[in-house]
Each structure stands twice: as structure tokens, then as C-alpha cells.
Structure 1
Amino acid sequence: MGVAPALRQATERLALISATPRLDAELLLAHALEIDRNELLMRQRDLSVPPGFETLLQRRLTGEPIAYITGARDFWTISLRVTPDVLIPRPDSETLIEAALDHFGVRSPARILDLGTGSGALLLAALSQWPQASGVGVDISPAALAVARGNADRLDLSERADFRMGDWAEGMDGSFDLILINPPYIARDVALAGDVLHEPESALFAGADGLDDYRRIAPMLPRLLAPDGMAAIEIGYDQRLSVSTLLADQGLSVAVRHDLAGHDRCLIATLAPSV
């Protein structure tokens, strides 16, 4: 079978389980051919379908995320290695980088802290955006830290990125211009579907109401934020009021930024001006 009919057939099969069946088919076939998707699309008539494509297709049909099958995910302007030890970086999280760009304008943050760094997506995206910055990524998972360090090495950012094992910012000192935080925020009894069924539970669930980690993080922020700095905090679409209250109770000023779908996605916390 040629590439074009193979893609059509795979798209039909994937339509049963995916909202993006054609894209999934193209990414899987490109991975099987060890080329990128653009090359696949440009060279369809020159290529043959490798035997391994069906195996990859079967994995996707069982619900396994594309990013775990191919081991890669694009985020912001970088491409990251991902494994089942980390959350898959999503476009919604790019809202945090956009908020930071608006806050700093022509300036650059000097020191960046990424709490719950996972694959390193937020920290490494920020470091790629601001070449003069350095940063620290913290995670409680040794496996996640190994993924993040590997990504920093591949992106030639390891000299500016320090990854540490830790429980949020416990025991951490210093002043940071930008703090990036994407904690678990799903309530324990919420029924999940899709890709998240394959992702690490420790990075998803945060107690009965989804707020356990926000409660721990909020009191840490005032001592870590530089006077003109900001914290960009990802939230669930219905958590703006509850998390804003936790931050305001620590004396922080809070604003909200929406994602591309118009949902509340990022809270921007800054030190309240002194009176």
C-alpha cells in the first residue's frame, strides 16, 4: 500500500478514538519512517509504508497518546522529549509564557523558577525566549528530572538550567523575577478520559477539590518573588476565584489570563505595592 492510501485508511480507523485522526496518522507514519511530518507530506509519492507503522497505529488505537508513542512534543518554540514519567506539554500551558512576555516587555527576567518542572517545558521555553536568563526547575520525581535534564542537554540550555529534586519550594531561598507553576489541579473524584488516562496521577490529582497544591504553594510565593517579578500559575477553567483567594490571602495582587479557547487558564501573581 502506498503512503496516501495508508494515511486515508489509518485516518478512518483513528477517527473512532481521536479528535485529530489525520494528524495522528501523519505523525505516526513520519515517526515510523524516521522523518518529520513536513518531509512526509512533501515526499508521499517517493515513500513506502514501513512494517512498523501498524504497530504504532495499534498503540494509538488503544488510547496511548501520540507524544508517548513518538517520544516527542513541540512546545512554544522548542521540541521536547517526553516519556510516561511526565505530563505531556500542552498549548494551554503556553499561556504562562505569553503572560510573562507581556509582563516583562522589552526587559528580560534574570532568574526563573519552575515549580513542578516535569519535562522542563516551561523553564526551557522561557530560557529559549530570554537568552540572558538562568533558571531552576524543581520536581519531586527523579524520573521527571532525568527527562528535564535530557531536554536541557538536547536544547543546549543545560548551562543555564539547574534541575533539583524538591517538594515545591520547600527549603528554597532567593529572589526570582519569574516563577512558573503548573501544579496538579484535578479533583480526586473527577472521571478522566483521553490522553490523561496514561499520564502520571501524581501530576494530575490534588485532593478532594483540586486545590491541595495551591494551598501549599501560595504561602511560599511572597518570599520568592522579586519586587518587580511575577508568578504565572496554571489553573483549571473553573478555579479562578478559589485560587485567586488563596493568593490574595498572602498579600499578592492577582490578575487572570485566558487561553486560546477563552477559558481562565493563568493567574498572574505579583507583590502588592507597598503603601
Structure 2
Amino acid sequence: MPTIENLLNSADLPASPSPRLDAEWLLAAALGKPASYLRTWPEREVPVEVAARFAADLARRRAGEPVAYILGRQGFWSLDLEVAPATLIPRPDTELLVETALALLPATPAAVLDLGTGTGAIALALAAERPAWRLTGVDRIGEAVALAERNRRRLGLGSVEFLQSDWFSALDGRRFDLIASNPPYIATDDPHLVLGDVRFEPASALVAGTDGLDDIRRIVAAAPDHLAANGWLLLEHGFGQAGAVRALLAAGGFVEVHSRRDLGGHERISLGRLP
């Protein structure tokens, strides 16, 4: 039987930006062990059925399928989330939305909305940090709402509710102290849509018109009807869209409009307060 070291050294993932790490995650999952086990016991023999699963998963990764979809999970903030092809894979850049929301509001009771919740990542991360907040996550896709609810139940976060809603359509009369969203913001002709992991992610969670701003325009226009006085709107966007998003927020009546940079130094989110 092959050893752990044999399998990792022979793993062939030429198109992956992180081939060794991908192989370690896939083999650890096949073994049902943490990745640290591989480095601690590289000489351990791997059962034939486990090696076969690893080989099948490697083939999926070589075809370009994201590791998160193969494993069915992805880490975000301090949480381990179930993911599926019906939703966008949560990314570290989006943690900037969580950090900013936590800094803007105190830990006292507040109503917070996560628009386009997907896996529930933003709402659940905020709920884990702020037990006094009441979180609502909405998504247009029913499969995403069901997945977010499964994540909520597994994590035991009772302060969150998930609803099916096309942006604000199911929220008539409700107002929030803060609204956060990672909406679609890629232009329809963006060449990145045929590269890497995004080829496998739902286009509805990625594409927003010819300039990538269609959904952001809708959110900015409708948000004042759902924000409490002095409420904040936080929007993730592409690194080249900050100026346009700030202009939309200012034209929509928001004040204290500014952008914040991600770990790569790009202006990743823009926000404003409703006076």
C-alpha cells in the first residue's frame, strides 16, 4: 500500500496555484484526519479505498473544481461552513466586511441584515461575535437559504434567521441598524469568469451587468427604506470599483462615505451612513 508521503509526492495538480496544499487537504479529508496528521505520520500506509478516493478527488481538482466544493466545506472567520455549488465560496477578503461591521456598532442589541447571504458566512460570523445582535440573512436562491440554515443549526447560532428574498423584496417595513452585502460585482465580459475557481461558481452570485454595478445600484437605491436613522450600508466590490461605489452612495444621500482596503491593499469595501 502507498504511504502518505508517496501519495502527496506523486499528486499531479499542474494548474493549481497551491498544488501541495490542495493535495494535503484532499488526502486529509479522505483519511478523515486533520492536515497536521499527514506531516506527523508521513510513513503511514494508506488503505486502498482511501487512495482511490484521493485519486478521484485529485481528478476533480485537475479539472478545475474548487477544493471547497470537493470537500463540501470552507473556513471563514472562526467558522467551518458547509458549501455547495449553489453558493459562492466564502473568501478571506469578505472578512473585511465582518471586521468593519463589528467596529461600527457596539455589542448592545442591534438589528443587522446580510443581503445575498449565500452560505450565511457574514451573518453567522457576526452572530458568533455579537450574541446581542439580531441577524437576518436573505438570498434569492432557495438552495442557498437552506444551506445557510443548515450552517446556522450546526453552529447553534439562534440569533440568526434566514429568508428567501430578492434583495429587499421580503423585508417590507423592516429596518436595520446596519446592512452588509457581498453582492455580484463582476462585469458580464470580464475575462476572469473563464479562469480558476469562478468557472464552477454560480453566475448569479458573480455577474451584475455590463459594468458589474447593477446590483449595487439596486441596493443603494433601496437601502434607505430599510435602514434606521444613522444606519450603515457596507458593500463589497471589485478593487477597481471603489470610486464608482462611493459616488453611488453619495448620490443616494449617504454621508461619511469612504472605502477600506483589504490585506492586499485594494479598496475592497465602501460604506456610508444614512443621516
TM-score, length-scaled by structure 2? 0.93
SS in 2 for 1:25: helix
5 Å matches for 1:44-83?
44-48=42-46, 50=50, 51-83=52-84
Retained in 1: the 8 A contact 2:112–2:136? Answer: yes
Give distance in 2, aligned partners of 1:244 and 1:5: 52
SS in 2 for 1:45: coil
How far is 1:228 from its partner?
3.9
How many residues are treated as equivalent by the alignment?
267
Retained in 1: the 8 A contact 2:102–2:126? Answer: no
How far is 1:169 from its partner?
1.0
Retained in 2: the 8 A contact 1:232–1:268? Answer: yes
SS in 2 for 1:74: strand
Give distance in 2, aligned partners of 1:227 and 1:36: 47
Per mean C-alpha deviation after superposition, the further-off stretch among 232-241 and 162-171 is 162-171
Retained in 1: the 8 A contact 2:259–2:267? Answer: yes
Retained in 2: the 8 A contact 1:225–1:270? Answer: no
What is the CA RMSD across the aligned residues, in angstroms?
1.5
Q: Judging changes above 3 Å, is the alpha-carbon distance between structure 1 residues 133 and 41 closer, same or farther for their aligned structure 2 residues?
A: farther
Q: Which amino acid aligns with 2:261?
A: H
Report the counterpart of residue 196 of structure 2 in structure 1: 194
Give distance in 2, aligned partners of 1:212 and 1:112: 23
5 Å matches for 1:244-259?
244-253=246-255, 254-259=257-262
Q: Judging changes above 3 Å, is the alpha-carbon distance between structure 1 residues 170 and 9 closer, same or farther for their aligned structure 2 residues?
A: same
Give distance in 2, aligned partners of 1:248 and 1:141: 30
5 Å matches for 1:215-226?
215-226=217-228
Report the counterpart of residue 21 of structure 2 in structure 1: 23
Report the counterpart of residue 164 of structure 1 in structure 2: 163
How far is 1:171 from its partner?
4.8
Residue-by-residue CA offset, 1:28-81 (whole Å, 9 max, x unaligned)? 001111222233333333452522110011000000000000000000010100
Identity %: 45
Is 1:148 paired with 2:172?
no
Give distance in 2, aligned partners of 1:47 and 1:155: 34
Q: Which amino acid aligns with 1:161?
A: V
Report the counterpart of residue 274 of structure 2 in structure 1: 271
Report the counterpart of residue 3 of structure 2 in structure 1: 2
Retained in 2: the 8 A contact 1:109–1:177? Answer: no
The match for 1:232 among 231, 234, 245 is 234
How far is 1:167 from its partner?
1.0
TM-score, length-scaled by structure 1? 0.93
Structure 2 residue runs without a partner (length 5+): none
Retained in 1: the 8 A contact 2:115–2:180? Answer: yes
Give distance in 1, aligned partners of 2:168 and 2:117: 12
